[in-house]
Structure 1
């Protein structure tokens, strides 16, 4: 027992791993007609001794490199930085996506598909929601602002809903327009444009951009506002309704109550509302003192824990995880930041105290996440008799096998 949560998978959950079957649906035309041939070609140079999870981890490393470049060269998330930075962001994100998509192909090539692969893959994807949002904020010059905070929500909310959908239906469903395909390509294009025209391009007034043909109501809005309006519209009209509809249909087929699944969004509601209340408090200095990167990293790890626990419950066929103790410091931070407003007292979180509280929170969730991940991976590997980042060399059992290997 660590941090008031059980970090070990029970025997029932481990025994359910033998029932695991991966199922996915991808209806994106871009994925089918463009990415599939590309990925089939890209997978060929990868050696058969390279474990699928190692490919996933290497892909995630490109995102960490992007994040490191942001922290070193564009810590204010405004810039402008050198043009090569924005091109490298696009390249790193594209390579991450490529590696993220070929790990499954590698698993099939090597006969090493396992529930650990899905858990490892989606765990990295969950962490990338926040890390990618930080890099995207820097690419668009959003700064430590509400734009960056809203972008964090726009990346985490759809992922959480999609993960919940997979838990309820047993299928990872990607629609005709989805985040991992069209969303990622859009993000890469935005980064490339920033490399060519600079991040200040996104601050261009719409009336100026479209000229005399622009309607009067766009006066005062920028290309950034247009981009956010587009992304929000796609999430609210395409991604979320499809997920809820698929879960509703699954509940009907299985004669379960759809309404009974809705409380499972409580943890994300606490996550989003607590983050908003903390940042919006007039006594919070996170945005003003440019600590949003630290805030996003901290809450991003918390989100990674929430989403990965759902995937863990999915592959082990155990009850839906309703809460994580790592949300408690976030809720406490929101309360401390707003207590002076309610009770008309002096601020509890002075800028210095708030910073050290947030830093301590980051250290806590980072250690807790790594500890938990190591335990879960070890349990999977022990029960399934596999290695996480290594494919054991198989000794030929016959002359035919030896000929096949050579």
Structure 2
């Protein structure tokens, strides 16, 4: 499946990344440089990446145990636990690359594995953030998850065309994660109900009725703030960078824009399914749906990285998302054909569970073959460092 000639570009590949964030450059980088010294030189960078993802899985488990409806409230400590897990995940996500340079074990597999874990964490972190805000399955939850998925897909699409992972002055891996950690801590202090109140209700001393913020909802301000940054700064930056790259390489910018269509279609299909009047999955099992979608998204995004590393054509589809489109159609057949609904809540739940299992099996099977082919071709190991002869 992955012939040796397909992997030849790995021989000359070099990672290129730019991080313009002042917080990352002047505040966090010294901390990361110190943190990497805590790891022994025999520890493989990919193992550090996997441990970081394990912390987010632990946060997900706590969230589903204490607030299975993603509303709560849960005990105050769980929200600080979310924040701690996200902080450790972010730390290890930045330390793994430094460990690779420290042990002289940098490879294309490291970038693929790192971005693959980040792609999976989009749904995991999004669910944890939803639980931290007590958003449940509301429109707020859908916005949080939507921004999370698109904020990862766009830079991945940009890197495919430019060859550079560019993080702007305000970016998701730095300011976005710090903002999420801050919101989790606020939920730990004031409870998740803070994200359902107005400024006047939560802080009457600071926002009396005479101030215009008194009747403004706190979650509205948070959503507007992140929405403005995402739509006004994040999206234009990615699109402009891809336009410049296409013009330099004399490639079609229209074709590049069409590559956003797969993400747009799966987003629309998810919305059509979840907001169908004949569906109960959003109200009863939203986290399950988000996990199934997240695994399918993980393969979509990782395939783009794989195509970038091996200089292949842009991947337009992933078989793991086919159940999403089928489910969106099946659940809405009564809207298309005047018949009685035939998909019961139990059938829908079983279908989503089957989709999740199918996605997990397909994702890990594909990942195993890709990682194994990279290791064999580059003569490296994924989770251990080979001893080099003098």
Fold conserved (TM > 0.5)? yes
* Deviation string, structure 1 residues 96-126 (Cα, Å, up to 9, x no partner): 0000001000000111000000000000000
Match of 1:226 among 196, 200, 221: 221
Count residues in correspondence: 386
**Alignment partner, residue 85 of structure 2:** 92
Match of 1:389 among 380, 383, 386: 383
**Alignment partner, residue 307 of structure 1:** 301
Q: Which stretch has the larger CA shift, 16-25 or 291-300? A: 16-25
* Deviation string, structure 1 residues 56-101 (Cα, Å, up to 9, x no partner): 0001110000001011111111111111111110000000000000
Match of 2:16 among 20, 23, 32: 23
Q: Which stretch has the larger CA shift, 50-59 or 245-254? A: 245-254
**Alignment partner, residue 211 of structure 1:** 208
Match of 1:379 among 336, 352, 373: 373
* TM-score normalised per structure 2: 0.96
CA deviation after TM superposition for structure 1 residue 260, in Å? 1.6
Check the 8 A contact 2:275/2:282 in 1, yes or no: no
* TM-score normalised per structure 1: 0.93
Check the 8 A contact 1:119/1:311 in 2, yes or no: yes
**Alignment partner, residue 262 of structure 2:** 267
**Alignment partner, residue 248 of structure 1:** 243
**Alignment partner, residue 28 of structure 2:** 35
CA deviation after TM superposition for structure 1 residue 389, in Å? 0.2
Alpha-carbon distance between aligned partners in 2 of 1:335 and 1:160, rounded to the nearest angstrom: 25
**Alignment partner, residue 404 of structure 1:** none
| Counterparts of residues 5-404 of structure 1 (less than 5 Å) | 8-208=1-201, 209=203, 210-215=207-212, 219=215, 222-288=217-283, 290-395=284-389, 397=390
Check the 8 A contact 1:93/1:188 in 2, yes or no: yes
Alpha-carbon distance between aligned partners in 1 of 2:340 and 2:139, rounded to the nearest angstrom: 25
SS of alignment partner, residue 166 of structure 2: strand
* Deviation string, structure 1 residues 226-260 (Cα, Å, up to 9, x no partner): 11111111100111100001111111111222112
CA deviation after TM superposition for structure 1 residue 146, in Å? 2.4
Long gaps (5+) in structure 2: none
Check the 8 A contact 1:207/1:215 in 2, yes or no: no
Q: Which stretch has the larger CA shift, 275-284 or 13-22? A: 13-22
Check the 8 A contact 1:336/1:348 in 2, yes or no: no
* Deviation string, structure 1 residues 286-325 (Cα, Å, up to 9, x no partner): 122x200100000000110100000010111111101111
Alpha-carbon distance between aligned partners in 1 of 2:210 and 2:368, rounded to the nearest angstrom: 58
Alpha-carbon distance between aligned partners in 1 of 2:277 and 2:220, rounded to the nearest angstrom: 24
SS of alignment partner, residue 211 of structure 1: coil
Long gaps (5+) in structure 1: 1-7, 398-406
What is the root-mean-square deviation in Å for CA atoms of aligned residues? 1.3
Alpha-carbon distance between aligned partners in 1 of 2:85 and 2:77, rounded to the nearest angstrom: 12
CA deviation after TM superposition for structure 1 residue 215, in Å? 3.4
